[in-house]
Amino acid sequence: MKINILKFRKISWRITFTYAVVFSAVVILLNFLVLYGVRFYLRQQAITQVDSIGKNIEGKILGVGDEQKDIYDKELVNDSVINSDINIKIADSSGKILNNSKNFNPQVSIKANPNNVMVVENEEKHLIVKNFVISDNGKIIGYVQVAKNMNREYSFLKLLFIVLLVADAIGMITSVITGFSISQKILKPIKEITNTAKRITATDLNVKINVGEVDDELSNLAKTFNEMIERLKISFEKQNQFVSDASHELRTPLSVINGYINLIDRWGKNDKEVLQESIVAIKNEVKYMTELVERLLFLARGDSGVIKLQKEVVNLNQLVEEIVKEGKLVAPNRNWSYNHKGRIDIFADGRLMKQMLRAIIDNSIKFTQEGGTINISVEKHLDKVKIVVKDNGIGIPREEIGKIFDRFYRVDKVRSKTTGGSGLGLSIVKWIVEAHNGEILVESELGKGTEVSVLLPM
């Protein structure tokens, strides 16, 4: 029993079942209509026949037409009986039977229910009977009873019923078979998708589903599925790239540290100069590695959605002022300027805002010569806040601007070695800006300077 229920849970069976039930219901309903329609028609036919025979006899007795026949006349009955399905009785005014065609015996009193159609139905008899009262000037002359035996018609109906029943059975079986085969056909691509999905593993995303030529819902599903696999593939590749880049970035400072340790091991124990140089270098590399690991951690946590924004009302002017003050301390030989009009508050994560602005300004410091200018401005822009950091540093080649947000991307790797960047700063900036539903735009010209604009909702 349980297996059966489970089986019907399958879509193919549900489709088949629904299809068969609806189809059968329609067919059965149609058959009932046909049977009842035919029965009604046949009965109506019989009533008309009975009526016309009765009226005819009545006319003859009363002499309405050109021939008149006496109520005792045997021919009245004999002439009117067309076949053995019709039985006619004629009685006088007292109800005494004068004439009876005796084709069959209706067993209905000749005086019963005058001038109304009677339907006599029981197991072996199906009769239509009508009694006619013959009266002349209000005086009853006699009675005529016309009865029609409906057995022949009922046999026909029975046969019709059996034929329809057989047709129904064939129809139902066919509907189950077609329903099943149609559902199998429809669901075939879904099975294919399921099988393909089973083959997908993290290491093998090189599977594709056959989309097929017809542009229907299922081919759409297959297309969507293929696109999803493609996106996953890209994302996996990115992730792999990220991990390998990160390892590579970490290996360089480690080998530097290793080199200095070997140096100390060999000469440094006695050579103060070598020792001092090594300590400074190792300190630098450790600082760089610590920063790098922190950034990697930030991006990894950002990717997995662990970082929750702690939004609050932040006084943006104050925040920028603090960062400019810090910048001035780090790079006193740049010309700093900060423009703003009035106080601007922003609903954002203050800590992340600081981190973002620091990374942008850090770049401006790094890529601007001594004596260069760094200009920061904050202004309202419709319902947004626009923060612009502009420098007159070395700039970025036009074709590279699009890539600077990529992880580990540095325009000039050799130069970056001296500036100490890891190429993750702007990736983090982008993550923070997007987490706040903002936008970031970079305009730059090689040798002239760079302008970074951040647009944030208030």
Ligand X SMILES: Nc1ncnc2c1ncn2[C@@H]1O[C@H](COP(=O)(O)OP(=O)(O)O)[C@@H](O)[C@H]1O
- Please give the residue ranges that form the binding site for ligand X (CB under 6 A): 359, 363-364, 367, 391, 393-396, 404, 409-412, 416, 421-427, 450
Return the number of the residue (256 or 264) whose C-beta is nearest ligand X.
256
Residue 372 binds which one of ligand X, Mg ion, none, with CB within 5 to 8 A depending on kind?
Answer: none
Is the CB of residue 126 less than 8 Å from the CB of residue 154? yes
Strand stretches in 270-356, DSSP E: 311-315, 335-340, 345-349
| Rounded Cα distance, 378 and 384, in Å | 11
Q: Select from 196, 96, 86 the least CA-distant residue to 147.
A: 86
Could you write out the three-class secondary structure of 350-409? HHHHHHHHHHHHHHHHHCCCCCCEEEEEEEEECCEEEEEEEECCCCCCHHHHHHCCCCCC
The one-letter code for the residue type at 136 is: D
Residue 245 binds which one of ligand X, Mg ion, none, with CB within 5 to 8 A depending on kind?
Answer: none
Is residue 363 close enough to count as binding Mg ion by CB under 5 A?
Answer: yes
Return the number of the residue (222 or 360) whose C-beta is nearest Mg ion.
360
Is residue 368 close enough to count as binding Mg ion by CB under 5 A?
Answer: no
In angstroms, give the least distance from the CB of 209 to ligand X.
39
Give the Å distances, CA to CA, from 203 to 222, 228, 231, 303.
21, 15, 14, 20
Tokens for 200, please give them.
């997908």
Residue 268 binds which one of Mg ion, ligand X, none, with CB within 5 to 8 A depending on kind?
Answer: none
Residue 183 binds which one of Mg ion, ligand X, none, with CB within 5 to 8 A depending on kind?
Answer: none
Among 425, 427, 432, 456, binds Mg ion (CB under 5 A): 425
Q: Select from 117, 146, 148 the least CA-distant residue to 46.
A: 148
In angstroms, give the least distance from the CB of 425 to Mg ion.
3
The one-letter code for the residue type at 81 is: V
Return the number of the residue (148 or 295) whose C-beta is nearest Mg ion.
295
Return the number of the residue (129 or 374) whose C-beta is nearest ligand X.
374
| Rounded Cα distance, 180 and 17, in Å | 8
Residue 416 binds which one of Mg ion, ligand X, none, with CB within 5 to 8 A depending on kind?
Answer: ligand X
Task: Output DSSP code: residue 181.
Answer: H
Is residue 423 close enough to count as binding Mg ion by CB under 5 A?
Answer: no
Return the number of the residue (70 or 294) whose C-beta is nearest Mg ion.
294
Residue 53 binds which one of ligand X, Mg ion, none, with CB within 5 to 8 A depending on kind?
Answer: none
Residues that bind Mg ion (CB under 5 A): 363, 421, 425
